[in-house]
Structure 1
Amino acid sequence: MILLRNLVFALFFGIGSVVIVGLAPVSALFGQRAMIRHATAWTRFHHQLVRWVLGIRVAVEGERPSGPALYAAKHQAMWETLELQMRLDGAAMVLKRELADIPVWGWAALRYGAIPVDREASAAALRQMIKDARRARAQGRSVLIFPEGTRVAPGETPPLKPGFAGLYGALDMPCVPVATDSGRCWPRKGLKRPGVITLRYGAAVPPGLPRRDAEALIHAGINALERRA
Structure 2
Amino acid sequence: MIVWQYLRSLFFNVQMYLMLMLFAVCGLPYALIGGRSAAIHVCRGYCLWVRFSARWIVGLKSEVRGAVPRGDVLIAAKHQSFFDILIIYSAIPRGKFIMKKELVWTPFVGWYAWLIGCIPVDRGKRGAAIKAMLTQAKNERFAGGQLVIFAQGTRVAAGAKKPYKIGAGALYTDLGLTCVPAATNVGVFWPRHGILRKPGVAVVEFLPEIAPGCEISGFMAQIEAEVETASDRLMAEAGFVAK
- TM > 0.5: yes
- 1:217 and 2:222 are equivalent in the alignment: yes
Superposed displacement of residue 38, structure 1: 1.3
Instruction: Give 1:129's aligned residue.
Output: 133
Instruction: Give 1:201's aligned residue.
Output: 206
Superposed displacement of residue 119, structure 1: 1.4
Aligned ranges 1:1-229 → 2 under 5 Å: 1-26=4-29, 27-135=31-139, 139-190=143-194, 191-223=196-228, 224-227=230-233, 228=236, 229=241
After the TM superposition, which of the residue ranges 113-122 and 142-151 deviates more from structure 2? 113-122
Find the residue that maps to 1:48 and give its secondary structure.
Answer: helix
Q: What residue ranges of structure 1 are gaps of 5+ in the alignment?
A: none
Counterpart contact for 1:24–1:108, Cα < 8 Å: no
Deviations 1:52-109 (A, max 9, x none): 1121112433223452211011111110111111111131111111111213431321
Question: More helix by proportion, 1 or 2?
Answer: 2
RMSD: 2.0
After the TM superposition, which of the residue ranges 218-227 and 71-80 deviates more from structure 2? 218-227
Counterpart contact for 1:47–1:83, Cα < 8 Å: yes
Find the residue that maps to 1:161 and give its secondary structure.
Answer: coil
Deviations 1:128-165 (A, max 9, x none): 32233234797431100101011111122322112111
User: What percent identity do the matched residue pairs reach?
Assistant: 33
Superposed displacement of residue 121, structure 1: 4.1
Find the residue that maps to 1:28 and give its secondary structure.
Answer: helix
Call closer, same or farther: CA 1:19–1:66 in 2, change over 3 Å: closer
Q: Distance in 1 between matches of 2:74 and 2:128?
A: 21
Across the two proteins, how many residue pairs are aligned to each other?
A: 229
Superposed displacement of residue 22, structure 1: 1.9
Counterpart contact for 1:57–1:195, Cα < 8 Å: yes
Call closer, same or farther: CA 1:136–1:78 in 2, change over 3 Å: farther
Letter in 2 for 1:15: L
Q: Distance in 1 between matches of 2:141 and 2:104?
A: 21
Q: Distance in 2 between matches of 1:204 and 1:8?
A: 39
Q: What residue ranges of structure 2 are gaps of 5+ in the alignment?
A: none
Letter in 2 for 1:202: L
Call closer, same or farther: CA 1:65–1:10 in 2, change over 3 Å: closer
